[in-house]
Amino acid sequence: MNNDTILSVKNLSVRYQDFEAISNISFELKRGDIAIIIGPNGAGKTTLLKAILDLLPHEGEVRILGKKISEISREERARIGYVSQKVDIIQNFPVTVKELLELSIKKTYPKSKEQKMKIEQYLDLLHISHLANKAIGELSGGQQQRFLIARALILSPEILLLDEPIAGIDITGEQTFYEFITCMNKQYGITTLLVSHDVTVVEKIASKVICVNRTLICEGKPDEVLSEEKFEELYGREASVYKHKFCKEGEPCEFYKDRGDLK
């Protein structure tokens, strides 16, 4: 591990009772990498991310920013940003987007003026300024996801870990989000570790791909490691997802034709 390494994962395993969800996963990220974790549903992608952040009991060693995560002080935690797959925030409770952001940044920015400025800036960045005073439970899924991203970014982290961050965001949102990740990476050297079930994202932005299906299937530069065989190994034999399209060309969504309410 040299100075350039921002995250190193060694022999990481997680079991849920008797079930080994991930086993012996090792990889490293260099400062400035945009790495994408791909793998089918249930492959252990979320588990891997949570274990890296010490949110789950695990075996193996993780070093992030040169330290074990348990050794990173409360102040230094601002250097790590995390967007979970699900919004775990309690719904139907009167707490606003602004209040939740305030809570997150109070420690770093004790002055309320600074807090206000930061919050406005990041709400604007994610196009959710109009939702500042709305209760979190009144937001749509996509809007909540934008909130999560704002919360992860607001303390300007050096490394971002994102678990399918755009699953609920509409297409234009999706494009700008990837542009945004790339831009932050180019301008500020933000390292990103992103889980995605959408393989096309890899081609667009990744400097590194990490294929996971309970174990590490492949790791490296996308064009070097993403072969047809690896895809079969990752997603199973019949589903060569790389070429797979959801609907046939010319007859989109044929299987919907029986539904009278749809054209």
Ligand X SMILES: Nc1ncnc2c1ncn2[C@@H]1O[C@H](COP(=O)(O)OP(=O)(O)O)[C@@H](O)[C@H]1O
Q: Which of 99, 174, 198, 232 binds other proteins (CB under 8 A)?
A: 99
Please list every residue from 195 through 234 that binds other proteins, using CB under 8 A.
none
Residue whose token pair is 């987007």: 97
Q: Least distance (Å) from ligand X to the CB of residue 55? A: 11
Q: Is 34 helix (H, G, I), strand (E, B) or coil?
A: strand
45 interacts with other proteins by CB under 8 A: no
d(CA 62, CA 53): 8
75-83, 84-92, 107-115, 142-150 -> range binding Mg ion (CB under 5 A): 84-92
- Residues 213 and 209: their CA atoms lie apart, in Å, by 13
Element (H, E) at 231: helix 228-235
Judged by CB under 8 A, which of 41, 73, 187, 200 binds other proteins? 73
Distance from the first to the final alpha carbon of the chain: 57
In 207-257, alpha helices (H): 222-225, 228-235
Using CB under 8 A, which residues numbered 130 to 159 contact other proteins?
133, 135, 151
Nearest to other proteins of 31, 79 (CB atom): 79
42 binds ligand X (CB under 6 A): yes
Phi and psi, residue 178, nearest 5°: -65, -40
- Residue from 35, 43, 126, 206 touching ligand X (CB under 6 A): that is 43
The nearer residue to Mg ion, 16 or 256, going by C-beta atoms, is 16
Q: Return d(Cα 62, Cα 191) in angstroms, integer.
A: 16
- Residues at the interface with ligand X (CB under 6 A): 16, 19, 21, 39, 41-47
